[in-house]
Amino acid sequence: MAPLPAAGDERRAARLRALGPERALFRELIAKVGSGEHTSTGLSREEARTAIDLMLTGSVDDAQIGAFLIAHRIRRPAPVELTGMLESYRDHGPTLTSSGPAPLCFGVPYDGRSRTAPLLPLLALSLAAAGLPVVLHGGAPMPVKYGVTLAELFRSLGIEWCGLPLGTVQARLDRHGLALTHQPDHFPGAERLVAIRDAIGKRPPVASLELLWTPHRGEHLLISGFVHPPTEARAWEALAAAGETDLLTVKGLEGSTDLPTTRAGITARVLDGNVERILLHPRDHGINAPEQAWTSLEAWRSEGLAALRGEGPLAEALLWNLGSYLWLARRFSSLPAALDQARALLQARCGERLRQELAP
């Protein structure tokens, strides 16, 4: 005769039935990542994908999501887990496509910038004006940093990305070579996590995921910012498993993809699994400008508009970034030639003309 089940087993089974199948499954995934240093096993690729699926579809409680995010933050996601998470974002997030040149898709922290003046909106306008499409993604002010966002910076230049249907964003990419998907408008499942991210008070693993995901489908160069070397190595492995064949990782300002002007820019190009470390030395090319401190949107707007004309305190940094990315995108055989073209583009005010086309 089989032994009778213990009372505790019966109660546990009853509790799992009360949770329902999805919350019960998520409970088991929390246990896997939160069991401690010696007993935690981590998640498989499929389990990580399932965990993010359940969060994005609103199938589990906020308390469960918070527990999962903070446990995974402490444990640090393995590359295989990041790959599964990335697949879920691809399934549930917005999608953009392009039929012309392969775009540059930038992944930068959603919680914004607070110490140094950002260059990416100015760079994106200049690259798009040069015939290199750019795809960006971002959100509203985000914990834990609540820094200035891409959407706010573009708005200060007169370009609005918030409240647009995805079809309008796609049309801008088709016509102007520039797009920004805005999480509150285009990815409500991920936006639901913002309040939970605020409650746990730390960047969760999905913050790393945002640096690796792009809404663009098809051939592109994915450019991902990082701060710590282990983050870069995890990104290489996770993206390779996810099928990203052309990747550039950048140790930029505040984790962004903005190349510094006061030190060597540390980058790596990963093409079909082959890693090439590329160090960019601005002083070797006559670039000596200091990084500009972030002060306010009003000050940045004035400096940004001047930089698009090749003038003001941000002009030299924009020149350096524009030339470097033209070269890294393999539009030119040498960095000096790319910098010459970047200088000509700024003098011709190409980025400023595109800004005027996109402004109402």
Helix axes 229-241, 205-212, angle to 10 degrees: 60
- Is 256 contained in some domain? yes
Say whether both 229 and 304 belong to one domain. Answer: yes
Check residue 8 and give its pLDDT.
Answer: 64
Say whether both 129 and 39 belong to one domain. Answer: no
What are 157-178's pLDDT values in tens digits?
999 999 999 999 999 999 999 9
Say whether both 272 and 149 belong to one domain. Answer: yes
Say whether both 117 and 254 belong to one domain. Answer: yes
Check residue 40 and give its pLDDT.
Answer: 65
Check residue 296 and give its pLDDT.
Answer: 97
- Is 6 contained in some domain? no
Cβ–Cβ under 8 Å, residues 186 and 55:
no
Output phi, psi for 92, to 5 deg.
-100, -20
Q: How many domains does the chain have?
A: 2
Rounded distance, CA 43 to CA 69, Å? 13
- Is 112 contained in some domain? yes
Say whether both 35 and 134 belong to one domain. Answer: no
What is the chain's length?
Answer: 360
Q: Which two tokens stand for residue 104?
A: 């540059």
Say whether both 139 and 269 belong to one domain. Answer: yes
Say whether both 70 and 107 belong to one domain. Answer: no
Whether 18 has a pLDDT exceeding 60, the answer reads no
Instruction: List beta partners, residue 251.
Output: 266
CATH number of the domain enclosing 138: 3.40.1030.10
Helix axes 315-328, 120-129, angle to 10 degrees: 50
Say whether both 26 and 118 belong to one domain. Answer: no
Q: Which residues have CB under 8 Å from 21's CB, separation 6+? A: none
Helix, strand or coil, per DSSP, at residue 134: strand
Alpha helices, H only, the chain: 7-19, 21-33, 45-56, 62-75, 79-92, 120-129, 150-156, 166-176, 183-186, 188-191, 194-200, 205-212, 229-241, 297-307, 315-328, 335-347, 350-358
Rounded distance, CA 182 to CA 153, Å? 13
Domain that holds residue 42: 17-75
Check residue 85 and give its pLDDT.
Answer: 97
Output phi, psi for 116, to 5 deg.
-120, 150
Check residue 75 and give its pLDDT.
Answer: 86
Check residue 39 and give its pLDDT.
Answer: 62
Say whether both 120 and 58 belong to one domain. Answer: no
Task: Check whether the bond before 194 is cis (ω within 30° of 0).
Answer: no
What are 209-262's pLDDT values in tens digits?
999 999 999 999 999 999 888 889 999 999 999 999 999 999 999 999 999 999
What are 140-156's pLDDT values in tens digits?
999 999 999 999 999 99
What are 77-112's pLDDT values in tens digits?
999 999 999 999 999 999 999 998 999 999 999 999
